[in-house]
Amino acid sequence: MDNLPYKVIYDELPEKAIIRFSGQLIINFIESITEVVKERVKTSKNLEIQVDNPDSMDVTFIQLLLALKNTFETAGKEVSVSAELKDELRTLIDNSGFNYVLN
């Protein structure tokens, strides 16, 4: 499990939970990424989502982020998303109209 092409790190702090994503955030791995999220993430605290300079990212990952945001907001929790992206990924996200998800 250490040689996965993506990384999902989940930390619970007293005031909030933080989930960090990096690596290849694409359709090839979205099922396993989603399973990790389902196993670890709880809606008992506000959530901070950090996308940390991924190698690649596609719309399936954006859908996962939207689902996370919706789940937490429905539970009455706040969600923030920050993303450190390479210029080409930022342009791709902007051109596809999904820039609001990462702001």
Tens place of pLDDT for every residue, the chain, 103 residues?
568 999 999 999 999 999 999 999 999 999 999 999 999 999 999 999 999 999 999 999 999 999 999 999 999 999 999 999 999 999 989 998 998 898 7
Question: DSSP 3-state assignment of 4?
Answer: coil
HSE of 78, CA atoms in CB hemisphere, 13 A: 4
Specify the pLDDT at position 5.
97
Length of the chain: 103
The token pair at 1 is 């499990």
**pTM of structure:** 0.92
The reported pLDDT for the residue numbered 80 is 96
CB 45 within 8 A of CB 72: no
Distance CA 4, CA 103 (A): 27
* CA dist., res. 87 & res. 96, Å (int): 14
Instruction: Give the model's pLDDT for residue 3.
Output: 86
